Structure 1
């Protein structure tokens, strides 16, 4: 059989349906996005399996690769599907199966994670699927998991958040939520806490988001670990660091300004606001060696940093994330005071 091509195939990417062209050749599979020019190119040896999924605009083809990633292409008609089935069987030695769908509208089901896809099914029929590469963050709160999604600036409507709840039992109150969370964070496009932090500050008082948090600084992000919630703040989102006096002159605000903000549910936090007593002193030991600190920070940080707590925290933040100066402005101070 000669190569076959389809000119009216589409690919959905985070809420936008892009037109493109798909070509099947004896040794490879290729799709080119007409708008972005991006090309998906897979060799025959990369392909593991393929499924048909019914769509509103025809049949969708989902292929799975050896690296556990899945790719979807829509817009196949019945005659097109026959050609694709025959081609896959002849040249790729793959039998394309049909994935049954659940049309009953249930909001419950069984969760399975296959490669980089989270799938909700009801009696073995798929209710919906989530490409885990679409996730920007996941938060575990007892037996509830909150998923936050990367947004597509070109899309008029985007799915921004989803919550799933796993009922617990007397023996296991959190249900399967911790297991699902662990598997999702392994595969999703989420900042992972790997390796040692540069430093850890225990139980800092935080006004936004409210609570007490253990704050760990990593080279590329900040990790706030609280009793109920975790936040990971990418270094690239930090726009300003500010030390601001409290009106009572006995306390100091340390403010980390963010753009874009971190989110919890519908609440957005443009500032991480820490509060310190002026008279509180600490002696902090950095996790890194003197040699490492000298190499990366040119002697601006030593292994032991002592002094007023607010000064120590601000100095380590400033040097770790390469900020030239700490600013203090009355406009920001008024905003901070009025924000809680």
Structure 2
């Protein structure tokens, strides 16, 4: 078994392109088909066998989708691959059992087409499950909701920002960075918005009581580590010098090697220098003050 290797071609790696997924007793290896054998393009992933904690199998359309949970600090907590043949579950299951002593669990997905559900933060994922309304047995009896299958799972490690759009206290918007490693013509999720209904006795004018959306936003910000910044700060400007028109408000400005951070009382933004196309310094009508404009590509 030491030299045995199992491989699948045309397997997509979430956030990247299509490539070859191979497994042997020492590791799982995925390599993009875009750059051949070039390992320096950031399009090759290796998961050591001792870092594999678990795996889940789901079916989307005619293809199998595999999520692999890991324990290594330098690897994402969960990696997602799709494009497996529909009928290869037993082959995948047996491969993980023999090579890694890991049981691949089936994770059924809801196909009810509902636009509502129950949200939970499970580890580093935001999971939405279908809420099934059981029919009442007797007239006048209320419907009893039951948690159904998973509808959606978002990796919070990929969230770049979570905001309440337009100061709406009952909606949240998750924003994701645009990937430069997708194949041309591939759709890329950059934002998704959810409405979280308030409790029946909630008063919108009571700012001291957080809404359900604000509570979920806080939990997402904590799980996604949005406020955590790595690297050495080069320059810092206090918020008294960071009055912005868009986004409106006062923000402290922190400059790092590869990005800048706008840190406000409620929201944080990270802007990669590569995403800045132009910088303008425009005089105001009083000929004393200037407006500084940062033009972004994304």
Q: What TM-score do the two structures reach when normalised by structure 1?
A: 0.62
Q: Describe the shift of the 1:201–1:39 C-alpha distance in structure 2 as closer, same or farther (beyond 3 A).
A: closer
Distance 1:231 1:53 in 2: 34
Q: Describe the shift of the 1:147–1:36 C-alpha distance in structure 2 as closer, same or farther (beyond 3 A).
A: farther
Query: Paired residue for 2:188, among 158, 164, 167?
Result: 158
Contact 1:120 1:126 in 2 (8 A): yes
Secondary structure, counterpart of 2:34 in structure 1: coil
Deviation at 1:230, TM superposition (A): 4.9
Greater shift after overlay, 161-170 or 171-180?
A: 171-180
Matched ranges for 1:1-340 at <5 A: 3-14=4-15, 18=18, 20-37=19-36, 38-67=43-72, 69-77=77-85, 80-122=88-130, 123-140=147-164, 141=167, 142-152=169-179, 154-169=184-199, 170=201, 172-175=209-212, 176-186=215-225, 192=228, 198-202=236-240, 205-209=243-247, 211-219=248-256, 220-223=259-262, 225=264, 230-235=268-273, 237-238=275-276, 242-249=280-287, 251-260=288-297
Contact 1:3 1:23 in 2 (8 A): no
Task: Name the structure with the higher helix share.
Answer: 1
Secondary structure, counterpart of 1:198 in structure 2: strand
Q: Describe the shift of the 1:96–1:245 C-alpha distance in structure 2 as closer, same or farther (beyond 3 A).
A: closer
Distance 1:152 1:173 in 2: 34
Q: Deviations over 1:238-288 (max 9, x none)?
A: 566554333344x52231333326xxxxxxxxxxxxxxxxxxxxxxxxxxx
Distance 2:261 2:80 in 1: 34
Correspondence for 1:288: none
Q: What TM-score do the two structures reach when normalised by structure 2?
A: 0.70
Deviation at 1:162, TM superposition (A): 0.7
Distance 2:242 2:23 in 1: 57
Structure 1: gaps of 5 or more residues: 262-340
